[in-house]
Amino acid sequence: MQERAKATRRSLLEAAAQLFAEQGYAATSVDDISARSGRTSGAVYFHYSGKEGIAVAVVEDRFATWSQLAGRYGDEKVSPLERLVALSYDIAHDLARDPVARAGARLWAERTVIKTPVPDPFALWTAAATRLLAQARLAGQVHERVRPARTARTLVRAFFGLCTLTEALEGTTVLDDRLTDWWHLTLPSLRPQPFRGGFPELPGLPHVW
């Protein structure tokens, strides 16, 4: 029974995420979620207490928990700044390709029409970036003037704005290129010495160092 309940909850969440990402919160009804998932509308109310509850669950499932991604970058043999850059590409790819992450982003943007508090998607994400920047400063990768918490807050907000505007103006196919451009602009301002020369390549990533 527990496995069946988990499967039902997941199918409802994924169906709702697809609809929220495609048409937004206001245009999506419980009946739409029921039809897309193949479950009854009663299942939506039983597992998520209605449309507001499932919207919050979508945000919490992926968009508000980016720190889970950061856990994949705990290898201390890789420099913390490299891990931060790699994390940004993973998050960008999720925002571009994953229906639940895309729905979470749209729901957060539409949070004023949702009649329940929507989780802050940036708190844990910013905390992960703060930790990596603090490690980078200790390792001498960034200038001592860099304040990890303030810098992380600025980077996260700028990054999200970049992803949002790039998709709106050009589509997601160019997102990697635009993110690489952004890191070319951003990384020199973090470095401990004035920027000179080219950017060495990070393993598995575009030239962004």
Is the model's pLDDT at 67 over the cut of 70?
no
When mean pLDDT is compared across 67-71, 77-81, 99-103, 140-144, the lowest value belongs to 67-71
Which residues lie below 8 Å from residue 15, measured CB to CB, with a gap of 6+? 33, 36, 37, 39
Instruction: Quote the pLDDT of residue 61.
Output: 84
Instruction: Quote the pLDDT of residue 151.
Output: 96
Helix (H, G, I), strand (E, B) or coil at 77: coil
Instruction: Quote the pLDDT of residue 18.
Output: 95
Average pLDDT over residues 145-157: 94
For 38-54, how does the pLDDT look when each residue is reduced to its tens digit (9 = 90+)? 999 999 999 998 999 99
171 phi, psi to nearest 5 deg: 95, 165
Is the model's pLDDT at 91 over the cut of 80?
yes
| Sole residue written with tokens 């004035």 | 194
3-state SS string for 78-133: CCHHHHHHHHHHHHHHHHHHCHHHHHHHHHHHCHHHCCCCCCCCCHHHHHHHHHHH
Instruction: Quote the pLDDT of residue 163.
Output: 92
Average pLDDT over residues 141-151: 93
Angstrom distance (rounded) from CA 65 to CA 30: 25
Is the model's pLDDT at 79 over the cut of 90?
no
Structure confidence at residue 69 as a pLDDT band (50, 70, 90): low
Pick the closest to residue 130 from 112, 146, 106, 113 (CA basis). Answer: 146
Is the model's pLDDT at 194 over the cut of 70?
no
Instruction: Quote the pLDDT of residue 101.
Output: 87
Average pLDDT over residues 4-22: 93
Model pTM score? 0.79
Cα pseudo-dihedral 70, 56, 107, 159, rounded to 10: -20
- Half-sphere exposure of residue 24: CA atoms within 13 angstroms, side-chain side: 8
Instruction: Quote the pLDDT of residue 200.
Output: 44
Between vectors from CA 114 to CA 113 and to CA 116, what angle results, nearest 5°? 140
For 106-141, how does the pLDDT look when each residue is reduced to its tens digit (9 = 90+)? 898 899 999 899 888 788 788 889 999 999 999 999
